[in-house]
Structure 1
Amino acid sequence: MNDNKVQIFDTTLRDGEQVPGCKLDTSQKLIIAERLDNLGVDIIEAGFPVSSPGDFNSVSEISKLVKNATVCGLTRAVKKDIEVAAEALKGAIKPRIHTGIGTSDSHILHKFNTTQEEVIQRAKQAVSHAKNFVDDVEFYAEDAGRTSNEFLAKVCEEVIQAGATVLNIPDTTGYCLPEEYGAKIKYLKEHVKGIGNVTISCHCHNDLGLATANSIAGAINGARQIECTINGIGERAGNTALEEVVMILKQHPYLNLQTDINTKLLYDTSLMVREKMGMPVQPNKAIVGANAFAHSSGIHQDGVIKNRETYEIINPEEVGVTESAIILTARSGRAALAYRAKKIGYELTKIQLDSAYQTFLKFADKQKEVIDEDIHLIMEQVNKFSKIAML
C-alpha cells in the first residue's frame, strides 16, 4: 500500500447507528452502504452481527452488495461473537473481523475485574480465532487513550504475533489532547516489534471536541487508517467526522497524506445520512453545515464577491455544494444587495443602489433575513426603480 495513503474506515452503520433514535433497517443500511462504496471509503464497518438478528442480516446483505470496499463486522473478544461475524461476512469480497478488548486500568479493574495478563491472553485468543475465518483481522484496544503506552505496546506486540493486520488505537472517551494522542501513536511506531507490518488505526470520539484533531495528529505520527462517520455521528458527542478529516488532508498537501474519497459526493452523502437517520446537522458544522459556505457580514460578503478565496479556503464545488451563499441581513452591505439583486434580474446603477439600500435596511431591521421575494418588494417601493433595466 502507498505509505502516503490514509485509509478511510467508515463506521456510520455501526458506531453511528448506536445513537438513540438513529436505528436503520436493512434496506436503509444498504442504500447508505452503496453510497459509501461509491464515495470511495476503504472499509465499511457494517455492524455488530451477534447483537441482533437484524444486525446479522444487515451485515450479511451489505457483504453481498459492496463491490470495492472491505466489509467489516465488530465483535468482542468472545468466540461466539467471532464465529457469528465470520458467518455474516461470508458473502464479502474483502471481509474483515474487528475484535478486541479494553486495555485501560479502568476497564481491566472495573469492567472485567481481571488482570493485565488475562487481558493479553484474551486478546491473543480472539485474534487467533478470527484468523481461522479471515486473513484480515483488526484488533481494537478499547480505551487505549487512557492506557499506559508501555502496556499498550505490549498488547499490540502480542496481537501482531497472533496475526492481527490492523491495530485500532481508540480514544474511546475522547479524553486525549492531540499532542498526547499523536505521541501515543509515535511511541507505538518506535517500540512495538513488527509494527511496520500492520496498519495503525485512529478511532477518536468527540467528547471534548477533539476527535478530528486527534485523528489528524495520529495520521501525522504514522497511523494510516482513520475511523470516522458521516457528519461525525456516534456515541455521546459523536465520532471523528469523515468529511472533516478528508478535507483537512486535501487542503494541507504539505502533509503528503491523501485519501481516495470522491469529495464531490460529500455534501449529498451528508444529506442522505441526515434523512435516513433523522439526525439534523447544526448549521455551523464544518464542511457540510448549511452555513459552511454562507456569508452574512458585509465585510466578508464584499471580499467573497470580489474573490472567493478571501474568506473561503475550500471551493464549495469540491464538496458538492453549488456555490457560496450571500445571505442578506442587517449586517450586509451594498455590494451584497447588488449581487443578490443581479441574480434575480436587476442591474442597478450606483444611484439606484444607494436608494434601494436604504429601503433594504428597513426590511433587514424587521426580519432575520431578506430573501428574493423581499428584494422584489424593495424595488416596487422605490419609485425610481420603474426605470431599472431588467437583465
Structure 2
Amino acid sequence: MDSNYIRIFDTSLRDGEQAPGASMTSSEKLEVARTLARLGVDVIEAGFPAASPDDLAAVQAIAAEVGQTPVEGRPQSEPPIICGLARCTRNDIATAWEGVKGARRPRIHTFLATSDIHLQHKLRMTRPEVVARAVEMVTFARSLCPDVEFSPEDAGRSDPQFLYEVLAAVIKAGATTLNIPDTVGYTMPDEYGAMIAGVIANTPGAKDVIISTHCHDDLGLAVANTLAGLRAGARQAEVTLNGIGERAGNASLEELVMAIRTRGEKLGLHSGIDTRQLCRASKLISRVTSYPVPPNKAIVGANAFAHESGIHQDGMIKNAQTYEIMRPEDVGATQTTLVLGKHSGRNAVSKRLAELGYPLEGEALARAFAEFKKLADRKKSVHDADLIALASDERTQAPELWTLQDLQVACGTTGLPTATVRLKGPDGKLHVHAAVGTGPVDASYKAIDHIVRSQVQLLEFVVSAVTEGIDALGEVSVRVRQDDQRSCHGHGTDTDIIVASAKAYLAAVNLVLSRETAAPVHAQKSSVGADASVS
C-alpha cells in the first residue's frame, strides 16, 4: 500500500456502543455499517460477537451484506474489512470468527492487557503467562482467519520492554496488525508518539505489519495522540463517529480525518474517507445512540461553521478564508451560517436581509438595524423570520405622526386591567394617558385613542409567533377603519406581545391620520395639474 495512506478503522459499533446508554439494535447497527461503508472507512469493527446472541447476529448481518459488496461511490474498490472483537479465549475467538466469516475480508481482533496494574489487579497473571496466552490465542485466531489484529490493552502504562516482548511474540504467531491502545487516555502526545516509534524500532518484525493507534479522550488528547502516533509511523487509526465510546470516548473520526485533509502538506498523510459524508454519518450515530452532538463540536457541530461576531462576519463576507480553514461543503454541511446576535454588525444584517429579499439602504437600514440591536439584546439569536418581520415593519411603516415612547400595563386575576401610554406627537411633545379596559390590549388601545383623538374601529386583530421558543418574536397585525373610509392595516413586532399590539395599532392609526391630512393636499395638486395642462 501507499506508505502515507492511513487506514481508518471505525469502532463506533463496538467501542462506541460501550458508552453508557448508547446500545444499538441489530437493524440500527446495519444502518450505521452501510453509512460507514459509503463514508469509505477501511475497517468496520462490527461488534463483540461473544457479548450476546444479538451482537453476534448483528455482526453476521453486517459481514453478509456490507462486507460482501462494494458500495457504489465508495472511494475504495473493495468492501471494507469486517472485524469482530474477542478476548484471548478460545470461545471468544471462535464466536468472533462465526460473526465475521461471511465477509469477503474478515478480521479477528483479540486483546490482552500488558500493564502491571492490569496484570496484578484484573488478570492476576504473570508476565510469562501473558506472553504464552497471547501467542496461543493469536495462533488459534490465525488458524481460522488470515487477518488477525492484536491489542496489548493499557499499552500506554505498560513497561516498554515487556510490550516489545509481547508484540514480537504475537507477530511470530501470525498477527498482521498491532494496535497500541492508550486505553485510559493517560499519555501525552509526545509520550504516545515516542511509544509508537519505540514499538517500530524495537519490536522484531514490526516493520512487516500494520501498526495502529487507539486513543481515549480522558484528558481531551485522543485526536492529538492519534496524530502523534501516525506521525511516528502508525498507519491505521482506530476512531469513532462523534468520538463516542467508553468514559470520555475515543478519538473522533471526523476530527482526525479533517486534520489529515486540512493539514495534509504538513503531515504528508491521506485517507480514503469521502469527507462530504461526515455530517450525515454524525447525525445518524447521534440519532441511533441518542447522544446529542454539542453545538461547539469540531467539524460537525451546529456552530462549526457559524459566525456571530461582527468582526468575524465582516471578514467572512469579504473572504471566507479569513475565518474558515475548511469549506462547509467539504464535510457535508449545508453552508456557512452568519448567526445574527448582539455582536453582529450592520454589514452582516444588511447582507442577510438582501439574501432574504429585503434589501434596505440608508435610513431604512439604520432604523431596521437599530430595531435589530434592541431585539438581539433580548434574544440569544435572531432568526431569519425575525429579520423578515423587522424588514416588513420598515417597508410598511406608516408616516410616524405619533410614536410610541413607553407603555406600562397592569393586569391579572385581580384589579382592573390598566395601561399607561406615553406618545410623542407631531409637535414633538410627549403626551401621557392611562386607561382601563377589558384587558391590557384594550386598555392600551383606549389610551392611544384618547391621546390622538381618533375614532377608528378595530376590525381585525391577529397575533402570531414569528419564531419558536419562549423568547420568540411576536407579531401583531390589525385592521382598522374610520367612518366609511377604506380600512388601513398596521403591524408590529416585539418580544412583548402587548408592546407589539400597541405598535401595530398605532401604525394603523397613523396611516388613517396621514390620509386625513393628505386628502386636501392631493386635491390641490390635482387642480394645479389641470390648470397647468390647459396652459
Per the TM superposition, whether the score is higher than 0.5 is yes
State the SS of the aligned residue for 1:332: coil
Which residue of 2 is the match for residue 193 of structure 1?
Answer: 204
Aligned residue among 340, 345, 353 for 1:328: 340
Structure whose residues are more often strand by fraction: 2
Contact 2:151–2:181, Cα closer than 8 Å, also in 1: yes
State the shift of 1:355 in Å.
Answer: 2.3
Inter-partner Cα distance in structure 1 for 2:32 and 2:368: 47
Inter-partner Cα distance in structure 1 for 2:279 and 2:362: 38
Contact 1:10–1:41, Cα closer than 8 Å, also in 2: yes
State the shift of 1:385 in Å.
Answer: 6.4
Pair 1:253-2:264 in alignment: yes
State the shift of 1:377 in Å.
Answer: 2.3
Pair 1:99-2:110 in alignment: yes
Inter-partner Cα distance in structure 1 for 2:252 and 2:238: 9
Which residue of 1 is the match for residue 234 of structure 2?
Answer: 223
- Larger deviation, residues 371-380 vs 24-33: 371-380
Pair 1:178-2:178 in alignment: no
Which residue of 2 is the match for residue 202 of structure 1?
Answer: 213
Inter-partner Cα distance in structure 1 for 2:375 and 2:387: 9
Contact 1:294–1:326, Cα closer than 8 Å, also in 2: yes
State the shift of 1:373 in Å.
Answer: 1.7
Pair 1:315-2:331 in alignment: no
Pair 1:280-2:292 in alignment: yes
Contact 1:100–1:126, Cα closer than 8 Å, also in 2: no
Normalised TM-score (structure 1): 0.97
Deviation digits for residues 281-328 of structure 1 (CA, Å, limit 9, x no counterpart) = 111000000000001111111111111110000101000012100111
State the SS of the aligned residue for 1:4: coil
Contact 1:352–1:385, Cα closer than 8 Å, also in 2: no
Inter-partner Cα distance in structure 2 for 1:51 and 1:225: 25
Which residue of 2 is the match for residue 114 of structure 1?
Answer: 125
State the shift of 1:383 in Å.
Answer: 6.2
Inter-partner Cα distance in structure 2 for 1:13 and 1:202: 17
AA matched with 1:25: T
Inter-partner Cα distance in structure 2 for 1:384 and 1:61: 62
State the shift of 1:130 in Å.
Answer: 0.1
Task: Tell me which structure has the larger Cα radius of gyration.
Answer: 2
Which residue of 2 is the match for residue 32 of structure 1?
Answer: 32
State the shift of 1:23 in Å.
Answer: 1.2
State the SS of the aligned residue for 1:279: coil
Which residue of 1 is the match for residue 425 of structure 2?
Answer: none
CA RMSD of the aligned region, Å? 1.3
Pair 1:167-2:182 in alignment: no
AA matched with 2:381: E
Inter-partner Cα distance in structure 2 for 1:350 and 1:11: 57
State the SS of the aligned residue for 1:157: helix
State the shift of 1:378 in Å.
Answer: 1.5
Inter-partner Cα distance in structure 1 for 2:393 and 2:33: 53
Aligned residue among 150, 167, 182 for 1:139: 150
Aligned residue among 152, 168, 188 for 1:157: 168
Normalised TM-score (structure 2): 0.71
State the shift of 1:62 in Å.
Answer: 0.5
State the SS of the aligned residue for 1:382: helix
Inter-partner Cα distance in structure 1 for 2:361 and 2:34: 51
Aligned residue among 268, 271, 279 for 2:280: 268
Which residue of 2 is the match for residue 353 of structure 1?
Answer: 365
State the shift of 1:176 in Å.
Answer: 0.4
Inter-partner Cα distance in structure 2 for 1:24 and 1:350: 57
Ranges of 4+ aligned residues in structure 1 off by more than 4 Å:
383-387
- Larger deviation, residues 40-49 vs 144-153: 144-153
AA matched with 1:78: T
Contact 1:352–1:384, Cα closer than 8 Å, also in 2: no
State the shift of 1:339 in Å.
Answer: 1.6
Number of equivalences: 387
